Structure 1
Amino acid sequence: MHVEAETRDVAWERRTELPLFYASLVFLAGYAVRVLVPAHSVWRDIAGLAVLVTWLAFIVDYLVRLVLSRARPLRFVRRHWLDTVIVLLPTLRALRMVKVHDAVMAKRRDHPRRGLYPRVITYAGLSSVLLGFSGSLGIYHSERQDPQSPIRTFWDSVWCVVQTLTTVGYGDVTPVTPVGRLIAIGLMICGLGLLGAVTGSFSSWLIQIFRRDDEEEPPGKVRPPGAPQ
């Protein structure tokens, strides 16, 4: 059986996926410190340096993959549009959670691969947490300076993001700045996809379990109403 050889850009991506994911957590932590810690603090300067270094790492990775792919720049951008967006906005790296999880499992070959439904729920859950935290920071950063904004604390921002991701939308706390509304629009789109993935997978998983129980039930056995299971 002929197995297609792994290309250089794919091999590079496989080897750097986990280190870059850890770098994205450092970036997110640094960004959180920049947003939440008061000004004129040495921790803000350290966090700013961490953000800059990790961002440069993402840019270098993108350029290396572009060179290794030997593709024209415009074609590479079209084929890897999500990676391009992530380079511009590293806080969106949670959208690559599927590849991160696959990279983790590839290093743990002795562990059995989990089923489809638990994997989808795990992907969506982790992505929701990371995107929610990133969105909360972004909205708070853009809204706190506007006197017309009802978002005055980080908790207000978290409450707004939870409403947006879950598509509840009470409307008691909403962003008013252009940047805050753009972040909210992105969270709405991601929330619809993540919520649909979780609910659909959970429903399919329950149906699969009930169908398996029905198939294991001995034929001709009928329980009387109210009988214990």
Structure 2
Amino acid sequence: MDDDSRLTRWQQWADLPLGIASLVFLGSYAVHVLAPGLPGSVHDLFLSLTYAAWALFGVDYAVRWRISGQGPRFVRRQWLDTLVLLLPLLRPVRIVRTYEAMQRRRGRPWLALYARVTVYAALSIALLGFAGALAVYQAERAAPNASIRTFGDAVWWTCETLATVGYGDVVPVTPRGRTIAVGLMACGLALLGTVTGSFSSMLLQRFALGEEDERPPEK
């Protein structure tokens, strides 16, 4: 059995467990951040779940690196998976990949290509926005002179950042918060560009088909 087929079989087997791990990671991290009044033992439990989910991503990355036989080139070629492993903010987006894999197992997807791109981008923005709001809220809520004091402030700031609006009414003041802001800006531009490009391509294709239908038949 060649490396490509082994890698494909591993990815098919690991898609669902990694998707569940992404949900566990996001849920346990949310409880840890949003419910600081819980007993310490409960917080330790949710932190353990968070790190366990992270460990599953590490195991998956290591196995695929081993199976690929690419050595250090694997890191460069699978740069997105490397970022997902290193940056906790991006891990919930893994749920979208799991959803796509489950759709493919059922045969033909329910939605057309352009609709799938839009739906997946919307899911990615929602998951990334929620994770980003949690992270910036955790970083900013106790900082001196911080304007992001509540989770609602963090959600509002995240929406501004992902939409590239930036009103400036609430801004991060800590180095960690500003680092998160840079990542959200980059992801927001990429995801919005994907949706815009897909929509533009769909319109151009339909306009081209309409012009072909309006042409007189050749003699």
In the superposition, the TM-score normalised over structure 1's length comes to 0.83
Shift in Å, 1:184: 0.6
Give the corresponding residue for 1:222. Answer: none
- Conserved 8 A contact 1:165-1:188: yes
Amino acid in structure 2 at the alignment position of 1:66: W
Match of 1:78 among 76, 79, 96: 76
2:113 matched residue in structure 1:
116
The secondary structure found in structure 2 opposite 1:7 is helix
Which structure 2 segments of 5+ residues have no match?
Answer: none
Deviations 1:37-95 (A, max 9, x none): 124425423311211221111111111112222232x2222222221221122431345
Q: Percent identity?
A: 51
CA contact (8 A) 1:21 1:93 kept: no
Specify the alignment match of 2:140 in structure 1: 143
- State the superposition RMSD in angstroms: 2.4
Question: Which amino acid counterpart does residue 150 of structure 2 have in structure 1?
Answer: T
* Structure 1 residue 194, shift from structure 2 partner: 1.0
Q: Is the 1:97–1:123 Cα contact (8 Å) retained in structure 2?
A: no
Give the residue type in structure 1 aligned to 2:53.
Answer: T
> How much has 1:208 moved relative to structure 2?
4.2
Superposition pairs of residues 1-229 of structure 1, within 5 angstroms = 6-41=4-39, 42-72=41-71, 74-96=72-94, 99-109=97-107, 111-112=108-109, 114-209=111-206
User: Residues 35 and 175 (structure 1 numbering): CA distance in 2 closer, same or farther, change over 3 Å?
Assistant: same
Higher alpha-carbon Rg: 1
Give the Cα separation in 2 of the matches to 1:47 and 1:12: 28
Of stretches 39-48 and 20-29 in structure 1, the one that deviates more from structure 2 is 39-48
Contact 1:33/1:43, CA 8 A, preserved across alignment: no
Point out the structure with the larger helix share.
Answer: 2
> Quick one: which amino acid aligns to residue 68 of structure 1?
I
Question: For residue 226 of structure 1, what is the aligned residue in structure 2?
Answer: none
